[in-house]
Amino acid sequence: MQNKKAIGYVRVSTNEQADKGSSLEAQSAKITAYAALHDLDLVEIIVESGKSGKNLERAGMKRVLASVNRREVEVVIVPKLDRMTRSMRDLQDLIDLFAKKGVEFASVAERLDTSTANGRFFVNMLGLMAQWEREQISERTKTSMQLLKSKGKRISRLAAIGKKFVRGRVVENESERALIASVHALRDGGLSYRAIAASLNDRGETTRGGGKIYASGVARLLAAA
């Protein structure tokens, strides 16, 4: 009886990890060992470097899905569930697609496969846990950012228009505030964004980077007040 054809998928989320290669090698080794243990014909291991697992918009993942849709393989193997995706919705879509195409899904670390009802149940449960963890991290990050902002701490590389960073704190940028007031006065006088930009350039005003001011920049100044 001919062995089932399998395809492996490995991923690292940063280019630094991809350059080191150790993680990718370890993931590939686990897939190779799993395929040998279960008498699977491992035709290829697709490598995804420097890509997040938050969605399925990845070149390597698209190759996996193309093979599944064309029914070129019968089993998809990953070293760990989160290498495939961290989204419960995407995971469910994948499981549904694999079932529709008659393709089994196996995750080495969790010892899971979708050839059984128990396997499908636990894959879904782990997917929920992975998404919950990701959302928890996101909520903690947002809370921390809001706390820093409330204390006037620096939370981004560039300060908002009319503000500036001084020793890590956000303070008023008096020169920009004066510029914003001038722009409002010109706008109240009936000038268009383009005319205001021309007036500012004639006065020698520049962007933060020292460049020419355009109508779009005038609109941002007005919106910042």
Which residues are tagged catalytic?
Answer: 13
Structure tokens that stand for 28 in this block: 């590939």
Distance CA 89, CA 11 (A): 19
Burial 135-161 (b: 16+ CB within 10 A, else e): eeeeeeeeeeeeeeeeeeeeeeeebeb
- Smallest CA-to-CA distance from 135 within 85, 90, 86 is with 86
Distance CA 103, CA 71 (A): 8
Q: Which amino acid appears at position 203 of this protein?
A: R
